Structure 1
Amino acid sequence: MAYYEKCIETVVEQLDKFNPEKDSPEQFLETVSTSLQTLSAQTQAFILEVLSGCLQYQRLLTIVVDAFYVRDGRLCLWADYSLFEVICYLATFQLDELGFQLFCNIIKSQPLDKMCKVPRSTYQLPKEQQLLEITKRYNRRKAEELLLRANMEEMRCAVPRSRGEPLVQDSKKQPRLQFGPRILKTPKLTFYKPNDDVPVKLNTAAILREGALYQRQVEKELQRVDQLVDGAGDFSEFLEWQKRMQAKDREEQLAAGECRRLQGKLSHEEAILARQHLMQENKQKANQKKEETAELMQQYAERRLQEERSMKELVEQVLETQKNVKVAQTKLLKVRQQIVQEVIEESRELLQRSTEAAKEEQRQRCELISQLRALEMQPTRKGKLVDLTQIPGYGLEGEMSIVELRERLALLKESQRREEEEKRDQIIQGKRAKSQELQNTVEQISLCRAAMGRSAALRWEEKKALSVGPGAPCQDERVLELQRRIEEKAAERHKQAALLHVSAPRAARPKPRAQLEAQHWLELERSRERRLRALQQEGSACGPARRLEAA
């Protein structure tokens, strides 16, 4: 792939350099061949052949590529014009020589977005979503119609009775008085619910993979049951050991949580100390910066005096050099006039040679045109009639007429059609069997999912019951060490704050952010202590019940 990509890239690069108004194809190909001497002979031949073909049929390729840009390539870049010309030439004139497989390799070596067109289905919504949108639009239109009808009924029935209007009469009932507008109930609106229970379709690989997973789990469970039937050991000791280890793990988790809390508090104290140290360092750096700034200003003044002196000397030197410039300009003018005279004489000689060469070329063209016209004026033979039922008689084995050949081809196509139909039937039967097998696998997967969901719910309940365990986190060495370091950092912080209070009175009052952080850490520590007490009480209450369940 990389070989063809490099070759096509070289052809496109050279084709971009060609200018039909200034360059001739023969000279351009010669210069390209000299520039490709470092490549192998096979690569040079391929590049030169493709390049010469593109130059020969450039007018035809231009028509095809322009039509492509007008019709389907509106979003393509004009910088890829030469690349499309090369691909068009290969597909039109070199496909038989290259072969379909080699042509496919050349196409695959190019960028995919330039060679292939991203299908229409990419910009279309799925069928389920389109169905939902249609249902929503239908429901909305139906609701608007019903609402408009109800409003029209209300407006028609809400017109008050005029003073001269007679009483409402009825042929079967007595006349009754009409005291006001008649109120009608609006019809009940009916909304069609969209079809939300659209089943999720799984592909064949997902169904088979999940079915194999559940099958392995079932086989493991059956092996475990067989081992128990064959007399395997009881799991009561293992369960007790597991409970002890789980309790130990819970204690370690609580201790780790306490360590994390203390580490956070320690980092908070260290951050306060670092901030205090940084304030002292900033003060020292500010004093040092002032001293350095004064030294730099003094050095800058001295440097400015030196630059003014050097500028005065430079002005004097420039005035001296301006006097010598006029003499040099006169000498340069004489030399340029002499060079112009020589160039004019050489251009005259070259113009004379070019006119002679053009006359010779024109004469050769006239001779060639006269020869071509003489060839066209020669009489041509007319072809004879061909009998399709006659055997050519070349003496070859199995020789036949065209009619017989057509009949045999028709019989061969008929036999191929029958074989295709048989294969199609076999494929359909195989698909049906496979779909039935997949359906059985899906049913088995649904059953396994339901069972796994129930077992997961039971395990979650057990884990939730065991999550509240007895005992407080053990005061191990890590916790004690962290508490000792926090106390040391707090004492150091108070001492540093006292020093800062003496050195800078304005920094004695703590900032609001520091107060908020201290209050946050205090509340966090209190909530931790309350939570530990609650865990201890619940653990002491739930301990006998848990031991009874284990028994």
Structure 2
Amino acid sequence: MSSSYGSLVKEAIVLLDKFIAGRQCLDDFMEDVSKDLQNMDTLHKKFILDVVSGCTEHKKLLDVVINVFYGQNGKCLSRGDRSQFVIICYLATFALDDLGLQRFSNIVKSLDIKKMHTFLTFFFTNLTTWIQQEWNDIYDAAYVEKHWIGPLLRWRPEIDILMDQLAVKMSRGSQVKKAQIKTTEPQEFSLTKPKPPPLPMPELIPQQEKCKPVPNSTYRAPKEMQMIEELKQKNHQKSEELLYEANIKQFRCVNPKKSEHTKKVTPVVKEDFDSKLKFNSFNSSESPSSNKSNSWSIKLNSAAILRQGALYDRQVEEELQRMERLVEGAREPSSFLQWQKEMREKDLQEELAKIERRRLEGRISYEEAAMARTRIMERNQKTAQLKKEETAQLMRRYAEKRLQEEKEMRDLVQQVAEGHKNSKTAKEKLQKFKQSIVKEVSEQGRELLRQALEEAQAELSRKFEIIHEIRAIESLPHIRVGNFDDTETAGHKLLGEMSLAELKERLALLKEAQQTEQQEKREHILEEKQNKKQLLLEQLDTIDLHRRALAQAAAIRKGERKARLGFQQSVTQDMTVLALQRKLEEKKHERQRLKQIESKKAKTSKQAAAHTVRHTETHNRKGLKENSWEELELSLERHIQKDTPYVVSPTETLKT
């Protein structure tokens, strides 16, 4: 068993090369391979299929090792050996525990020993360094350490012994090659022997000119068809995903739980009602997030601090104006606010009751739709059963008709075979016609080559002329400029003409003036920042004072809010909601009862279908047996007529 693993690995290498070259689907490729390997033993077949499928599944991990190995040793290796390195790497990483060291060593020794030795030394020396890091980038580090790196390190001593054996075999092979080389032995000159006359040179046989090969594009399928197939596959996969999502998700309008929209809307409605109760008065403002004086829940910037300070100043002014109006004799709208608060709470309770009723009505409609769907499924199953019986009858008739047509086709094939005797003359004519076409094509090719040669010569001569012109231009002498004095002017006699030294001095003075101006600007900005910081500190003190006052007011309002938390109990006590809940329970019980009835019917229908299938199979077998006996009798009659053509068959006598 272990000795045959080398041949199995070689066959797996051939299949892996085919799969990489074909670029087809893995499942289709594995089905074709399993059909081709039907005559093989089941264990051998399973080993080959597991190796090929494992190499394709773990291609990303294996390519990390193989690509770097080819990058280092690519000069002395061929691309055709890539598959055997991939399979050895897969067996060492994933299947070494199942195979065992004896089978693995037999597989390695059945391949090229020198290549296997170099690959195994490369793999096990770099295993715990960059290979482990690359694998950790692809998979989890703990998983890689536990399942791949750890087992390989346990097998490391046995693998070292195997590599030593391979090195010994390599050294023996090199010694045998050196021993086979023989030294040259000198021979004495034979001066007395006359030289034989030289043989005449044979005449050169005129060779036929090679025809221009047909381009590969004629045998290659167009890319558009491949692109269309890929688009079809993508669209089919997308449609399947959408159908799967549509089947999994429930109908949103009849969701038994509260929908996300209602969950989002209820706190917004509550906040809206509370905010309408909060006017611009001091008592109705919100409480701060904490009671501590120096703790800030949100880090405010300067604009927010100034804005909040201005808001508190405006609130203080409004409160002072309100106090003045009260002193003058005005009334405070506290009773109206209390009545408005109660009415808004009542409206909120009614709205929540409406939402609960809608939810229950939606759930009831969902149960009714499910019951209607089960009834429609029962009706469809009955129609499908009738269709199946009709198709079974049609298939029986079709099988009988096909047997009759096959008999007629056999007779026609015999008649056509007799009429194809004169096909050799037609083939010879076709061969001559093809030879004439090839001659015409070769003549056209020679003409095109001559034209291309003339064009290339003209282009080459033009390039030589351009090169001569460039060399003539380069041979001209260069004009060199003399020494330069930076204190002298250029001599153009302009109004503001300056020397280079004067220009540098003026630029230095201008730079000093700019630096002094920037320093003054910095001092001015620092002074403004200090003033702004002082203003912000004052505003923070005022904000802290106001927040403490608001915290005291919030503690007073906290007791009032506890009295308004009993609105949910009133929603459940609504009579309409209770009636809808009872109706929903009844619909659920009815739906469960229909499900039980449907399951019983399905069992009975399965038993009846199995009985009909057995009956049709026995009928088809009887018909096939009768047809086979008739064909045997006809073949015997033909054989007898060939031997004795003048004897009348018993079937013909019966017909007469």
Q: Same fold (TM over 0.5)?
A: no
What TM-score does the superposition give when structure 2 sets the normalisation length? 0.37
